[in-house]
Amino acid sequence: MHAALPHNESDRLAALRALCQLDTPPDPEFDLITELAAKTFNAPLAAISLIDADRQWFKSRVGIAVSETPRDVAFCAHAIHIAEPTVVLDARTDGRFADNPLVTGAPHIRFYVGVPLRNPAGLGLGTLCIIGTEPRAAFTDAEAAVLQYLSALVMARLDTLRTIGYVDSLTLLPNRTRFVQDLQAWMVDAAAPPEQRAAVAIDICEADYFHSMERALGCDYAEGYIVAAKQRLVAALPHTSWYRIGPTLFACVRAVPEPDDLDAVFDELWQATAAPLEHLGIPHASAASAGAVRLDHRGDAADIVRALISAVDSARQQGIGRCTFEQCDDERQRLAFRLLTALPAALAANDQLSLHYQPRVALGSGLCIGVEALLRWQHPTMGNVAPADFIALAEKTALMWRVTQWVLNAGFEQAAKWQKLGYRFSVSLNISAHDLDHADFADMLETLLAKHALQTALIELEFTESAMSLRPERLHEQLQQIRALGFQLSIDDFGTGYSNLTYLKRLPATVIKIDQSFVRNVLADDKDATIVRAIIALGHELGYMVVAEGIESQAVHDQVRLWGCDEGQGYHIARPMPVALLEAWLLWPIGTRIAAS
Ligand code: C2E
Ligand code: MG
Ligand code: MG
The count of other CB atoms within 10 Å of the CB of residue 560 is: 26
Residue 330 lies in a domain: no
- Expressed in angstroms and rounded, the spacing between residue 339 Cα and the centre of ligand 2 is 22
Contacts 24+ apart (CB under 8 A), 259-264: 262/198, 262/200, 262/292, 262/324
Among 141, 133, 115, which residue's Cα sits nearest to residue 37?
115
For residue 595, the model assigns a pLDDT of 43
Q: Which amino acid is at 268?
A: E
Among 423, 450, 543, 441, which residue's Cα sits nearest to residue 483?
441
User: Whole domain around residue 285: which residue ranges?
Assistant: 176-325
Give the integer Cα–Cα distance in Å for 248 and 230: 10
The finding on whether 516 has its CB within 6 A of some atom of ligand 1 is yes
Residue 48 lies in a domain: yes
Sign of torsion over alpha carbons 496, 497, 500, 505:
negative
Same domain, 355 and 220: no
For residue 596, the model assigns a pLDDT of 46
Same domain, 91 and 126: yes
Q: Which of 347, 404, 429, 430 to mutate to test the pocket of ligand 1 (most atoms within 8 A of CB)?
A: 430
What DSSP string describes 471-537?
Answer: -HHHHHHHHHHHHHTT-EEEEEEETSS---HHHHHH----EEEE-HHHHTTTTT-HHHHHHHHHHHH
- CA 174, 78, 105: angle at the middle one, nearest 5? 105
The finding on whether 570 has its CB within 6 A of some atom of ligand 1 is yes
Beta bridge partners of 368: 361
Residue 331 lies in a domain: no
Assign residue 69 the CATH number of its domain: 3.30.450.40
For residue 569, give the ligand 1 atom closest to its CA: 15
Same domain, 283 and 352: no
For residue 19, the model assigns a pLDDT of 87
The DSSP 8-state label assigned to residue 115 in this structure reads E
Q: Cβ contacts of residue 83 below 8 Å, gap of 6+?
A: 116, 118, 122
What DSSP string describes 278-298?
Answer: EETTEEE----EEEEEETT-S
The DSSP 8-state label assigned to residue 132 in this structure reads E
Q: Answer for the pair 522, 532: CB distance below 8 angstroms, yes or no.
A: yes
- Expressed in angstroms and rounded, the spacing between residue 462 Cα and the centre of ligand 2 is 6
For residue 435, give the ligand 1 atom closest to its CA: 44
Residue 318 lies in a domain: yes
Same domain, 87 and 155: yes
Same domain, 32 and 126: yes
Assign residue 204 the CATH number of its domain: 3.30.70.270
Q: Which of 305, 325, 345 is the last residue of a domain?
A: 325
Length of the chain as a residue count: 597
| CB burial string 64-76: b at 16+ within 10 A, e below | beeebbebebbbb
Q: Which amino acid is at 104?
A: T
Q: Which amino acid is at 102?
A: L
pTM to 2 decimal places: 0.63
- Expressed in angstroms and rounded, the spacing between residue 381 Cα and the centre of ligand 2 is 27
Same domain, 347 and 297: no
Radius of gyration, CA atoms only, the chain: 36
For residue 500, the model assigns a pLDDT of 67
Residue 244 lies in a domain: yes
The DSSP 8-state label assigned to residue 272 in this structure reads H
**From first to last of its 597 residues, what are the pLDDT tens digits of the chain?**
777 787 889 899 989 988 889 998 999 999 999 999 999 999 999 999 999 999 999 999 999 999 999 999 999 999 999 999 999 999 999 999 999 999 999 999 999 999 999 998 999 999 999 999 999 999 999 999 999 999 999 999 998 887 777 889 899 999 999 999 899 989 988 778 899 999 999 999 999 999 999 999 999 999 999 999 999 999 998 788 999 999 999 999 999 998 889 999 999 999 999 999 999 999 999 899 999 999 998 889 999 999 999 999 989 988 888 988 887 677 777 888 889 999 999 999 989 999 999 999 999 899 999 999 999 999 999 899 999 889 988 988 889 999 999 999 999 999 999 999 999 999 999 999 889 888 889 999 999 999 998 999 999 999 988 887 777 778 888 999 999 999 999 999 998 876 667 777 788 899 999 999 999 999 999 999 999 999 999 999 999 999 999 999 999 999 999 999 999 999 999 999 999 999 999 998 776 665 444
Same domain, 153 and 198: no
Burial class (CB in 10 A: 0-12, 13-18, 19+), 393: middle
Residue 273 lies in a domain: yes
Residue 576 lies in a domain: yes
Q: Which of 302, 325, 348 is the last residue of a domain?
A: 325
Same domain, 422 and 515: yes
Same domain, 283 and 343: no
Give the integer Cα–Cα distance in Å for 268 and 396: 35
Same domain, 144 and 28: yes
Q: Which of 291, 325, 359 is the last residue of a domain?
A: 325
Q: What are the backbone angles phi and psi of residue 513, rounded to the nearest 5°?
A: -105, 115
Helix or strand or coil: residue 551? coil
Q: Answer for the pair 254, 240: CB distance below 8 angstroms, yes or no.
A: yes
Same domain, 129 and 254: no
Assign residue 560 the CATH number of its domain: 3.20.20.450
The finding on whether 568 has its CB within 6 A of some atom of ligand 1 is no
Same domain, 245 and 391: no
Q: Answer for the pair 53, 13: CB distance below 8 angstroms, yes or no.
A: yes
Strands 322-324 and 289-294: parallel
Residue 171 lies in a domain: no
Our count of domains for the chain comes to 3
CA distances from 226 to 218, 291, 368 (A): 13, 19, 63
The finding on whether 492 has its CB within 6 A of some atom of ligand 1 is yes
What DSSP string describes 307-353?
Answer: HHHHHHHHHHHHT-SEEE--HHHHHHHHHHHHHHHHHHHHHHSSSSE
